[in-house]
């Protein structure tokens, strides 16, 4: 489950609500404004600014962006436009009065040609289809990428800029830009049967990529995926609206069910021929990544067994398909897939990250898979590789060395020496976007309760070049509201487990009073809600909603239970094969800890969460019914048998191998224990965590004669958004919290 992207009684604006325990007297409430739901979800009062449309150009000195229909070149040191690369008026097709309404673009390597996309239509989380057009900066000609009907997916220039590959109707195509001749690489693509050049639903969601092809560095070959999903069971969702609802059917492998059979091929552009790579006789396996090495004709393929506790790196000769295993990474629980594998120029070594010493660290290997040296070491972990300077042999990476709650940029050389922090001293979180030549990097810095600061920094020493966006207006705006301060604490449970937590108290907190507590939970493997950052998207809007609740006299807390990230493999993988058990114990223990505090009303502790957090909420209200007075469960998994194969089996094995791990901590199995008030929320168009989960849970509660409230959103997906949807949802949630906690 890739829940990483997830993740108010009606707040009266015309009359003052009755004050709750701990709320400010009217005289003080008038000194600063109170947050409203409309501020958060409708007016954009707290919208943070960034550096929009930032795309590094080849020399690292400039970046490009779309501005008022024009493609503009900007100086990174000033953030100011210096040149219009393509005027919007140049993007007219013959016979058309209006220019294209472009929504995306990409350059070829020498930036002489540009692919523009228009009328982009999202499919799932990472996939979309568009009409693509090729623009030549030399003669200012604009032509459609394809003359054939149908939108295209993943259009990508070859490294030499002479061709473009794309996917349409589950087949892979190549266009020669000199002649605009289109060649079909594959012809057997078919809906819900064969996918060429793209991924199936579960790969896109759980292995986090949708484009299933890559050009070789010399532009002579294209490596591509083929998914045979014929035997994968279909899931059927109804789309509501017309007189007769429509059926939407797609392939979705639930835990223990058949997966797609995946193969990898290499297409020789000149010969017009594909060669299949030897990925072994086992068909029930995963190929979560492919990447071309720096050696001509050498393709790197990562292969995993279905249980995902063994990952192998295969090197394949793209001309013959012959492969050999050069490196194997195993774990008694599971091995995670990321994008840290980097092949060095010269074709002699590669970088790889592993948790084999208990924390994710960087390792250098030769091309035969022999360890050269471990580059990073310590009771902390790297979270990403952000850049690599080939000439100097320096790796740039983000890590948790300062604290599990923080992320900062560091550099180290290939000898494992000279490690230095490039992020400024202080706390918070840094997200880095580094130029390809590592001369500069954009740094997005934020701290709890503070909007991000976007700055340009020197890639060699991290020194500030220029602040590009400081969100000064938003910072000032926030001072006008009754905001409490978010604090971070640690405490130990009755089992002696130390947990990190965040605590948000009302701005006018009075320790002599008693306050209700609402706990916000996510809790899934490798996740974190307790971080010293402003969050983004729903994370920041949840922070603002929690502030709204604090204004109404609530303390809002969040605790990262066992199984969450940034504290090493042992802490994260302690929940393996028993998902939900230790996590729920820790949330209940956390509630009991807060109940001991003198300013907490122990009879009024609630919990809420979305996605995995919705699952945790439903489980907490049933397995620990005496601890929590109420809960709001949004888009929850209620039985892991209903969720997809890749995510679920990674943490639970298959249901055939581990039935108790699936059933012992399924909210459906514990519905009869429910005591507190429950609001269950789901979108009927959720392609990720199916509405089926909430249907099964409500059915179980009906059988157990338990009372509950439900709120469903027609045709909304896992994010439950669009138009007034979020405003409506959080209004219902606010009302439920104020009435029941």
Domain map (residue ranges) of the chain? 32-48+476-740
Q: Tell me if 341 sits within 8 A of 350, measured CB to CB.
A: yes
Listing DSSP states for 206-253 in one string gives II---B-EEE-TTSSEEEEEEEE-TTSPEEEEEEPSSSSPEEEEEE--
Pairing of strands 630-634, 600-610: parallel
Coil, strand or helix at 442: strand
| Residue of 611, 633, 666, 694 marked active site | 611
Q: What is d(CA 370, CA 24) in angstroms, rounded to the nearest whole number?
A: 65
Angle at 608 between CA 654 and CA 585, to 5 degrees: 55
The tokens for 298 are 């050498």
Task: Collect the ranges in the chain with pLDDT lower than 50.
Answer: 2-30
39 is catalytic: no
Other beta carbons within 10 Å of 438: 22
Q: What is d(CA 645, CA 667) in angstroms, rounded to the nearest whole number?
A: 19
Q: What is d(CA 672, CA 460) in angstroms, rounded to the nearest whole number?
A: 61
pLDDT for 68 equals 86
To the question of domain 32-48+476-740 being in CATH 3.40.50.1820, the answer is: yes
| Residue of 340, 533, 686, 687 marked active site | 686
pLDDT for 420 equals 97
The tokens for 553 are 């006299």
pLDDT for 19 equals 31
pLDDT for 15 equals 29
Backbone angles phi, psi at 133, to 5 degrees: -135, 145
Residue 201 belongs to what H/E stretch? helix 201-202
pLDDT for 1 equals 54
686 is catalytic: yes
pLDDT for 36 equals 97
pLDDT for 345 equals 87
611 is catalytic: yes
What is the pTM assigned to this prediction? 0.93
């Amino acid at each position: 489950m890739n829940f990483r992207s997830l993740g108010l009684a009606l707040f009266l604006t015309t009359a003052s609500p009755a004050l709750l325990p701990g709320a400010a007297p009217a005289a003080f409430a008038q000194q600063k404004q109170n947050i409203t739901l409309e501020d958060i979800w409708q007016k954009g009062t707290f919208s943070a600014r960034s550096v929009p449309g930032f795309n590094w150009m080849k020399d690292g000195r400039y970046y490009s962006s779309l501005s008022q229909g024009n493609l503009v070149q900007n100086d990174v040191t000033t953030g100011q436009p210096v040149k219009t690369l393509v005027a919007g008026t140049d993007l007219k097709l013959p016979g058309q009065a209006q220019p294209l309404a472009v929504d995306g673009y990409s350059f070829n390597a020498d930036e002489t040609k540009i692919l523009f996309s228009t009328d982009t239509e999202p499919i799932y989380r990472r996939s979309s289809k568009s009409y693509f057009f090729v623009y030549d900066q030399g003669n200012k000609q604009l032509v459609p990428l394809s003359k054939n009907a149908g939108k295209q997916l993943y259009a990508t220039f070859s490294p030499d800029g002479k061709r473009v590959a794309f996917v349409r109707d589950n087949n892979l195509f190549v266009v020669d830009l000199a002649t605009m001749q289109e060649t079909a690489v594959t012809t057997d693509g078919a809906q819900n049967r064969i996918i060429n050049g793209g991924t199936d639903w579960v790969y896109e969601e759980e292995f986090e990529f949708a484009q299933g092809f890559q050009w070789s560095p010399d532009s002579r070959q294209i490596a591509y995926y083929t998914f045979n999903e014929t035997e994968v069971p279909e899931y059927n969702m109804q789309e509501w609206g017309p007189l007769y609802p429509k059926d939407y059917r797609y392939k979705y492998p639930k835990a223990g069910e058949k997966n797609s059979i995946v193969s990898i091929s290499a297409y020789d552009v000149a010969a017009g021929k594909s060669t299949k790579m030897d990925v072994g006789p086992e068909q029930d396996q995963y190929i979560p990544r492919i990447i071309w090495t720096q050696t001509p004709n050498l393709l790197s393929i990562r292969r995993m067994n279905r249980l995902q506790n063994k990952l192998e790196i295969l090197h394949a000769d793209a001309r013959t398909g012959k492969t050999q295993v050069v490196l194997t990474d195993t774990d008694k629980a599971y091995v995670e897939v990321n994008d840290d594998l980097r092949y060095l120029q010269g074709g002699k070594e590669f970088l790889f990250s592993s948790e084999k010493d208990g924390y994710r660290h960087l390792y250098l290997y030769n091309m035969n898979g022999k360890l050269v040296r471990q580059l990073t070491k310590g009771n902390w972990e790297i979270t990403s590789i952000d850049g690599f300077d080939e000439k100097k042999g320096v790796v740039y990476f983000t890590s948790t060395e300062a604290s599990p709650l923080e992320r900062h940029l560091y550099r180290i050389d290939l000898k494992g020496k000279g490690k230095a922090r490039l992020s400024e001293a202080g706390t918070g979180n840094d997200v880095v976007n580094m130029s390809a030549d590592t001369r500069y990097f954009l740094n997005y810095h934020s701290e709890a309760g503070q909007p991000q600061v976007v700055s340009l920094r020197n890639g060699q020493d991290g020194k500030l070049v220029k602040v590009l966006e400081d969100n000064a207006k938003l910072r000032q705006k926030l001072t006008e509201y009754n905001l409490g301060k978010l604090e971070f604490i640690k405490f130990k449970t009755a089992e002696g487990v130390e947990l990190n937590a965040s605590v948000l108290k009302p701005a006018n907190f009075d320790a002599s009073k008693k306050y209700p507590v609402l706990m916000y939970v996510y809790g899934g493997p490798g996740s974190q809600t307790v971080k010293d950052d402003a969050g983004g998207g729903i994370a920041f809007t949840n922070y603002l909603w929690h502030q709204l609740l604090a204004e109404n006299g609530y303390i809002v807390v969040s605790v990262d239970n066992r199984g969450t990230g940034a504290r090493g493999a042992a802490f994260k993988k302690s929940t393996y094969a028993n998902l939900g058990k230790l996590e729920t114990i820790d949330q209940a223990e956390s509630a009991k800890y807060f109940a001991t505090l003198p300013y907490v009303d122990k009879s009024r502790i609630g919990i809420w969460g979305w996605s995995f957090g919705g699952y945790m909420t439903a489980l907490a209200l049933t397995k620990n019914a005496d601890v929590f007075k109420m809960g709001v469960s949004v888009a929850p998994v209620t039985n892991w048998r209903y969720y997809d194969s890749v995510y679920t089996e990674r943490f639970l094995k298959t249901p055939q191998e581990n039935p108790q791990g699936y059933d012992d901590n399924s909210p459906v199995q514990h519905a009869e224990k429910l005591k507190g008030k429950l609001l269950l929320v789901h979108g009927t168009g959720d392609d990720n965590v199916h509405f089926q989960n909430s249907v099964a849970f409500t059915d179980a509660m009906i059988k157990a004669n338990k009372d509950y409230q439900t709120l469903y959103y027609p045709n909304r997906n896992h994010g439950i958004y669009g138009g007034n949807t979020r405003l409506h949802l959080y209004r219902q949630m606010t009302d439920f919290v104020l009435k029941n906690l």
